[in-house]
Chain A
Amino acid sequence: MIEAVALSRRYGGRLAVRALSFTVRPGEVVGLLGPNGAGKTTTLRMLAGVLRPTEGTARIAGQDILEDPLAAKRRLAFVPDEPRFFDYLTVQEHLRFVARVHGITDVRPHLERLVQHTTVGARLDAFPAELSRGMRQELALACALVHEPAALLLDEPLTGLDPIAIRRTKDVVRAAAARGTAILLSSHLLHLVAELCERIILLRRGVSVAQGTIADLARDRALEGRPLEELFVSLLADEAP
């Protein structure tokens, strides 16, 4: 379960996220949408405990990210939009390192899964600089799931991937949701969001302008059966200054 409770974040005089509240239940995949600068990445960073909220708080699997950050972080995984790796750790050493951070003693099943189901599995001894973007994304997801988190935060996980890598990533997300992981993902690829997510949260200038299932929101606007892109434009048009 991911809970945001009146989350706000201020950068100097600018309010990037304002009193944002929502819940992502176990096994649910929720899309965090909005134009550039809407506050999606700031929201994900606050939920991941990277950024401290100016006001409000968040709970990951019931653990408050401000009161007990380590307990909350043990239950979550965060994959940023462009995962960066340690220059001098190989693929398998990254997996071993993340496993050790989370106290996982037996990393072999994860390595076997990586070898069997991913292209990066064939390059266990390669350094990150030698990997393609798709392979880096596969590695980041494998590292994120090594401790079977209760909450998974994905920032633009599908951008820049080829169709095969997109298919694999979608499968990984669906499999994690099927295991009961609460997943919050941000993306500009609306057709993929429509495929993966049951609900969406639409942000504009740090404020939530719409929350709900895609079907409900579309019905409210008489846009049933239309692409998510039309719903997105319609919802933002209402809020335009």
Chain B
Amino acid sequence: MTSALAYLARRSAVNASRVLLRRMREPRYFVTGAAGLAWLAFLGRAGVPRAQAADAEGALPAAALGVLVFVTWGWLFGSGARALTFSPAEVTWLLPAPVPRPAVVNLKLLRVQALVLLNSVLWVLLLPSPDPGSMLRRMAGIWCLLSTLALHRIGAGLTRSRAAASRWLRLGGAVIAGVLVGLALLAASGMVTAPLHVAAWLESPTLRMLLTPFAVPVRPAIAITGPGWWSEMLAALLVLGLHVVWVHVAEHAHADASVMQSLAHLDGASGGTPAMLRRGTAPIVPLAATGPAAFAIIWKNSASVARRRGLLGAVLLWLVLCTAVEMLVRFDRSAAGYVGAFAATWVGFVLCTGPQFIRNDLRNDLPHLAALRALPMHGRTLMAAELASSALTLTTLAAALTVVAWLGLRESADVPAWFRTGHALLGALLALPGFSLIVMLVQNAGAVLFPDWTAMTGRSGSAAALGTNLLGVLATLILGSLLLLPALVLLPELTDPSGRVMLGTGLMISTVAIVECWLAVGWLGGRLERLEITDGVVI
């Protein structure tokens, strides 16, 4: 039986590599692939300085604390739903076959390794080592750490999938979140008078002792030059082995839950209700019976965001908890200042990475392109509607955060005077639609020009998805900046801008973006009409 699964894994890997190489013969894929490799090489050269990276022993407590936070978050707030979901093909061919369940689980764990190995390589590039031997030790340590964390996430997810366990863990999560927020509020009101000094706290013997179990898998990845590396690696491997056993035990105990989840996924892919969608949720606005057809596409795509289960709750929870931690760690701001500072950070984060996770546009519609092309619409109109959908979502999210950031920071002495004016807020709100349009244009252009890669980025959990997502972020930032350059070079005095300059900048960014999008959408719409589709698959 193992030989059959090994055959499946081997042939899949060989054929996937062949497909990738065949794709690379096309200049468009070759050029972008080369750009991605060049970026990785650049990361390797420009990463953390060698001396600093090699002497990372001091980072051990912080890294162990990071593992503790990751593990706790996974147990309390993580989703058990996708812990060990079988793919539709595995449901079709492996579950009814005479294959022992542990063998199927091992195959799934093997698949996880693809992502772990890719991540290990990326981290080794980011944290260079003084010599090749240390680099191998670092690589092995990181692989062991990431494998352990991945297995822990799966084990916790499977255990959480049991309703009773999930109830207790949800309660625990609510209690911890409540305590954090409560402490933060006490700090803001002045009832707690000392900040948490994280650096000193990490040095305390009590915390070090508490963190010992979490330091075991971290140590071989960080302390690569020490004499005891082999024994530390052995201990980390032991922890990894225990996790493998735990995942098998948890899977056996919750086998029905993971099969149900897989079937829900399969039925969703076959036209049923996907597990992540909320039934009966009203769309944000009702669809008018008459009007431009493009509005119907925008409405459809907006409804798909409104109906994502738990999305808003997860974002709010994350924001509240991060703000609470920020308030406890730093004591030199007002409560509003903390919220504003965090919201400002998140504006940047959302604008940089939002185009990757906000996908209610052509990228999500690629599998249904045949149906969309049958609609009485020009490719240009369809392209414009798809682009507007995700740009609208990104603009709304970023604008909400921008308003919060401005309200929170307008009394703060930490920000320049021009930032506190209403013109700054208005200028930012004017610029956001233009910025969103440009970054989403890059993503949707990718969907038309590189449909194979775009389809891959939608599949979470694969190494190819991670690589293409990284390239996507890079391409969006570089091309987005280039496209917005005409708007910025026309405007001087951005270091201390007047109100008129700020409004002008915002207006100029959006105007330039709209003109560029109008030009690009015409061309991309033509390409969209010529995309070849075979039996529902874009080729």
Chain A interfacial positions (CB closer than 8 Å to B): 11, 45, 48-52, 69-71, 73-74, 76-78, 80-90, 93-94, 96-98, 100-102, 127, 129-133, 140, 143
Contacts and interface: CB of A to CB of B under 8 A. Distances in A.
A51 B263 contact: yes
A127 B95 contact: no
B89 A86 contact: yes
Centre residue among B95, B98, B255, B263 by max chain A CB count within 10 A: B98
A50 B270 contact: no
A16 B496 CA distance: 68
A89 B12 contact: yes
A104 to B, nearest CB: 10
Contacts, number: 100
Contacts of B19: 88, 127
Contacts of B263: 45, 50-51
B148 to A, nearest CB: 28
Interface size, B (range):
35 or more
A90 B3 CA distance: 18
A97 B8 contact: yes
B8 A89 contact: yes
Nearest to B19: A88
Contact of B93 (A11, A69, A70, A143): A143
A241 B532 CA distance: 49
Nearest to B5: A101
Centre residue among A51, A86, A98, A143 by max chain B CB count within 10 A: A86
Contact of B98 (A45, A73, A86): A73
A84 B266 contact: yes
B96 A50 contact: yes
B97 A101 contact: yes
Interface of B: 1, 3-4, 7-8, 11-13, 15-16, 19, 87-89, 91-93, 95-100, 255-256, 259-260, 263, 266, 269-270, 534-535, 537, 539
Contacts of A130: 534-535, 537
A131 B15 contact: no
A98 B95 contact: no
A71 to B, nearest CB: 8
Query: For the complex, would chain B's binding face be called helix, strand, loop or mixed by DSSP majority?
Result: helix
A93 B99 CA distance: 18
Given A70-B100, A88-B16, A101-B97, A80 B92 contact: yes
Given A88-B13, A98-B93, 8 more contacts: A51-B256, A74-B98, A81-B270, A84-B91, A89-B11, A89-B12, A100-B4, A127-B15
B35 to A, nearest CB: 25
A52 B256 contact: yes
A98 B90 CA distance: 12
A70 B94 CA distance: 12
Nearest to A93: B11
A70 B8 contact: no
15 contacts: A45-B263, A50-B259, A51-B263, A73-B99, A80-B91, A87-B89, A88-B19, A93-B11, A97-B11, A100-B3, A127-B15, A130-B537, A132-B535, A140-B92, A143-B93
A82 B98 contact: no
Contact of B4 (A51, A80, A83, A97): A97
Contact of A84 (B4, B15, B89, B259): B89
Contacts of A96: 7
B530 to A, nearest CB: 20
A131 B1 contact: no
A66 to B, nearest CB: 12
A48 B96 contact: yes
Given A90-B15, A97-B7, A131-B535, A84 B92 contact: yes
Contacts of B96: 48-50, 73, 76-78
A32 B259 CA distance: 23
A80 B93 CA distance: 10
B15 A102 contact: no
